[in-house]
Amino acid sequence: MTPISYSVPRGKIYDTNNKLVVYNIPEKAIIYTSPKNPQPGELLELAKKLNTFLVMTDKEINKVTDRDLKISGC
């Protein structure tokens, strides 16, 4: 696992009347690029490591849909 940091382009957007339209707050994200032939055991170990970084409230967990789980392979 190789951590890489990228700056996140965020900021404020104003309309022509100088009224604030959008204000973004930078958030961290985890992006995973799978090797060409991942072994199931390696994927499980990686999933366990990544799990230590994830914290979700019950409200957030309840927002996870069946489709989300199918896409992620869970």
Q: Where are the domains of the chain?
A: 12-72
Confidence of residue 72 (pLDDT cuts 50, 70, 90): low
Measured distance CA(5)–CA(28) in Å, rounded: 9
Cβ–Cβ under 8 Å, residues 13 and 22:
yes
Q: Which residues contact 5 (CB under 8 A, 6 or more apart)?
A: none
Q: At residue 1, does pLDDT exceed 80?
A: no
Q: Which residues contact 69 (CB under 8 A, 6 or more apart)?
A: none
pTM beyond cutoff 0.85: no
- Given 3-state DSSP classes, what are the helix, strand and coil percentages for the chain, each rounded to the nearest 5? 30, 10, 60
The angle formed by the CA atoms of residues 45, 41 and 34, to the nearest 5 degrees, is: 75
